[in-house]
Structure 1
Amino acid sequence: MGLFLLLLFILGVNTGEANQSSDQLVYVVPVEQTVERGLEAFLERSVNEAEEAGADHIIFEIDTPGGAVDAAGNIASIIQDAPMKTTAYVTEEAMSAGAFIALSADEIAMAPGTEMGAAQVIDGSGNAAGDKAQSRWEANMKGAAELNNRNPEYAVAMADPSIDLPEYRAEKGELLSLTASEAREVNYAEYVVDDREELLAALNMSEADVQEFEVSLAEQIARFVTNPVLIPILLSVGSIGLILELYSPGFGIPGILGIASLFLFFFGHAIAGFAGLESIILFAVGFVLLLVEIFIPGFGIFGITGIGAIIGSMVLASFSTLNIVISILIAAILSVVAIIVLFTMFGKKGPMQRFVLHDSVGGEEGFISNESRDELIGETGVSLTSLRPSGSIQLNDERLDVISEGGYIEKGKHVKVVDAEGSRIIVREMNE
């Protein structure tokens, strides 16, 4: 009997352990493509939903060539502040900002043949950033490594090519990139695993409920349109499209492209959490003011106010004031060039052309603005008044108002009609 109870106790313990294991919840979140603010918004939502669902662990599957430093810093903070345990799993590559994100997780796992590193700061022109920005970035890399007791020398070497680590670099002066085996060797990776199942086994979570977090269609659009490279393109297409639409009558493809580009800009930034309702309302007000200026001229007041409102709305909707100012300047320059080309090639046309009547009607269409008296040319009459040079004459049985061709003509003189232009009849004194 005692042996039977002992067996039940052991089975109960094992069953309890199995139930405990099966009750575990793991969220798998992809960190893919370029690191930018759209990715930041997606990861923030992922961590928040994982917390609400009571997840025990989050695995960030990383495959990125890097990206924006500011977005990487915010993403690192999101991962570091996550209330549950986190693991960065490098499935392809974690380069540049991706390496910083991986170092921010509690643990790192890498698949065979993957790489992590090469994290030097690059400016917009593709050159190495200034000393101040570089120093700050190296400090961030060092801090991320020290956060989980990793040797910071390797993290700094990923950002600074002057550090000499010949055993892990092909040539002197290159940024450090660690393969999976090298990262395991220097304690920059706790696991080298072939796939997710093997990683879950290494984490003792083989029986856990795995929830894959996917990027929604709206977030995919947001990630696309919040890319710093695409923003000036969207603004340029938007402004040039509207200019072309105002330039030509009707509403066609240029107007549709212009409105669609601006819509994508605000939609993407709204989904990413950067553009609020106030920025959209401000843009709408600015657009209405521009229309008022076009159709009801107000000495430029409505136009200037409208342009200011539109620019202000874009600044409010943007994640970076510097980036949006540069994008607006690029769009403005391209718009000016477009205006110059339009006026040079097609002449002075514009929205006011829509209110100008271009059709005309004449005698061929049966329209006569003033009756012409061509039949009087050559006829003779007598002046009823002195012509100084205008006056009246009697021609047949009709009294006519005329103008003398020359100077003064006395009353009672014989005159001849020499021309008739509408109601203007010209006469000349006849020699008697």
Structure 2
Amino acid sequence: MAIRRTLLFLFSFVALLASATGLVAQPSTNAAPPIREIPIDGPIGPATSAFVARGLEQAAAANTPLIILRLDTPGGLDGAMRDMIKAILASPVPVVGYVSPGGARAASAGTYILYASHIAAMAPATNLGAATPVSIGGGGSAPADTQPEPADASNTDGDNKGGQPSDDATAKRRKAVNDAVAYIRSLAERRGRNADWAEQAVREGTSLSAQAALDANVIDLIAANTTQLLDRLDGQNVETAAGMQQLNVAGARVEQRAPGWQTELLSVITNPTVAYLLFMIGIYGLILEGLNPGTGVPGVVGAISLLCALFAFQVLPVNYAGLALIALGAGLMVAEMFAPSFGILGLGGVAAFVFGSIMLMDTDVPGFDIPFGLIGGIAVASALLLFGILYMFLRSRRERIHTGHAGLIGSRCVALTDFEREGRVLLHGESWLAVSHTPVVRDEPLVVTAAEGLKVFVRPAGPADTTIATGNAPARGPIPRR
């Protein structure tokens, strides 16, 4: 009886402990998912756009209550910016565009993203604006860059004989600016923000500080840090693609999402400087493999680098005329190696290479240009390589020929037998039929004067012939006798 009571007590205790454990664990399973914070640092390109769009999709799938886009950017490419804005407008989760503390900025493309966000916030000592698109130079789409349009239109794109911009350049710029104005006004009207200042930021390139932006109804609030931002957002109603939502985010946990290795790799490859270097490595690698077939390493490295560069050029605003000039320059330098023109083809190749490199990037967006120092360095290296090839070519023309019949003339040989006119001589370790106009005795040193087929013409060697054979390797060991 006592044993039964003891077992009953133990079972009751275990059941009570399991119930208590379930009650304690229940709140953790029902805890709200954390807030996602996605950083946007530096120039906005295809890699940043893909990273943000993927982050918004993952946050929506995880039922995240809020997404914070932490902005610090000088601008970026128009296509990448529009892809990000499309993802923000379609997001069922409220998105807060927050210009992060520490003197960050949301210039150019960042201003558009801030206007597209459900809530626009800035930290003190930050700024936004300068949203004028830079005029396009080679037919690509206008990037949302940070450079303001000059007040005097005579200094913009293209000049005619009278010093005024051409009609095509003026029309092209007008189209780009009007399109940007209409786009940012539509974003401002959708979010109920100051559309007039947005247009001014595009047409005149003006900027605002955080407090001035708040006073002008450009942003919704100012917060010194993320905790203060969440406290001020708590309880607000936000209209999203999924309908009206009320924010309950005070004291919520914030989870930062850093770019993965795929995004980092894509960012590195699509960096114009890196893409340019990969392109040059690819070209020179294939050239070296062509000049030295079978080596393998230059060809493999060159092929991989060239494919990576072409992938980067596919998503970057590339001027294909510049790309063609670079390829032409490389071709001319290769032609100089096979058809020496005393530097004419090579110098033309270097010039085409330099002009093509300057024209390669069809945009002036900060962070998407190729440094002139890099272009100059590669141009100097190519010129030095060219002059080195020319030097070796000229030196080879002055050197004594070592192959064929011409290489035998002046060589030393030794008679293997006595003969009056024809006999055998030892020449370069081989027995040759020799013809002499004077009698020859065995072991007599001779000099080759001509060669015809498998026959050589010889004469006795004199004191002045001791330097004739300096270009030939001396015989090793005693001369064999027959």
Task: Provide the TM-score with structure 2 as the length reference.
Answer: 0.54
Cα distance in 1 for residues equivalent to 2:285 and 2:453:
48
Q: Point out the structure with max Rg over C-alpha.
A: 1
The 1-side partners of 2:73 and 2:321 are apart by: 26
Amino acid at match of 1:30: P
Per-residue deviation, 1:72: 1.0
| Corresponding residue number in structure 1 for 2:142 | none
**Equivalences for 1:334-345 in 2 at 5 Å?**
334-339=329-334, 342=337, 343=340, 344=343, 345=386
- Partners in 1 of 2:295 and 2:451 — Cα distance? 48
Correspondence 1:28 to 2:51:
no
CA contact (8 A) 1:236 1:335 kept: no
| Alignment size in residue pairs | 299
- 1:207 to 2:255 alignment: no
Residues 333, 144 of structure 1: CA spacing in aligned structure 2 closer, same or farther, 3 A cutoff? farther
Matched position secondary structure for 1:200: helix
Q: CA RMSD in A?
A: 3.7
| Alignment-derived partner of residue 227 in structure 1 | 271
Structure 1, residues 181-210: CA drift from partner, whole Å, max 9, x if none? 011111211111111111122222133232
Residues 1:181 and 2:211 aligned together: yes
Read off the aligned partner of 2:433 and give its amino acid letter: S
User: Is 1:329 paired with 2:372?
Assistant: no
The answer on whether the counterparts of 2:435 and 2:455 sit within 8 Å (CA) in structure 1 is no
Match of 2:121 in 1: 109
Q: Which residue of 2 aligns with 1:3?
A: none
The CA distance in 2 between the partners of 1:326 and 1:230, in whole Å, is 19
Q: Report matched runs for 1:256-295 at 5 Å.
A: 258-259=302-303, 261-262=305-306, 264-265=308-309
Q: 2:174 aligns with which of 131, 139, 151?
A: 131
Aligned to 2:57: 48
Q: Identify if the C-alpha distance between structure 1 residues 327 and 202 changes in structure 2 by more than 3 Å, giving closer, same or farther.
A: farther
1:9 matched residue in structure 2:
none
Q: Could you report, residue by residue, the CA deviation over 1:279-335 in whole angstroms, capped at 9, with x for unpaired residues? A: xxxxxxxxxxxxxxxxxxxxxxxxxxxxxxxxxxx7xxx236x62735632431342
8 Å CA contact 2:65–2:93 kept in 1: the answer is: yes
* Alignment deviations for residues 234-276 of structure 1 (CA, whole Å, 9 cap, x no partner): 323321332134234664886576345325436x75xxxxxxx
Cα separation, 2, equivalents of 1:228 and 1:326: 16
Distance 2:44 2:451 in 1: 82
* Structure 1 residues 386-401: aligned runs within 5 Å: none
**Structure 1 spans left out of the alignment, 5+ residues:** 1-17, 162-174, 270-313, 350-357, 380-418, 427-432
* Letter matched to residue 122 of structure 2: M
- Indicate the percent of aligned positions where both proteins have the same amino acid: 24
SS class of match (2:218): coil
Distance 1:334 1:42, change over 3 A: farther
2:429 equivalent to 1:366? yes
5+ residue gaps in structure 2? Answer: 1-26, 138-146, 148-155, 158-171, 235-248, 344-385, 394-401, 409-425, 441-449, 458-482
Distance in 2 between residues matched to 1:99 and 1:141, nearest whole Å: 9
- 2:68 corresponds in structure 1 to 59
Give the TM-score of the pair, scaled to structure 1.
Answer: 0.60
Amino acid at match of 2:62: A
On the 8 A contact 2:33/2:62 being kept in 1, the answer is: no
Q: Given residue 66 of structure 1, which amino acid in structure 2 is its aligned partner?
A: G
Distance 2:136 2:335 in 1: 29
Higher mean C-alpha displacement, 118-127 vs 254-263:
254-263
| 2: CA distance, partners of 1:225 / 1:421 | 61
> Cα deviations across residues 31-83 of structure 1 (Å, max 9, x unaligned)?
11001111111111111211222212110000000011121111111111112
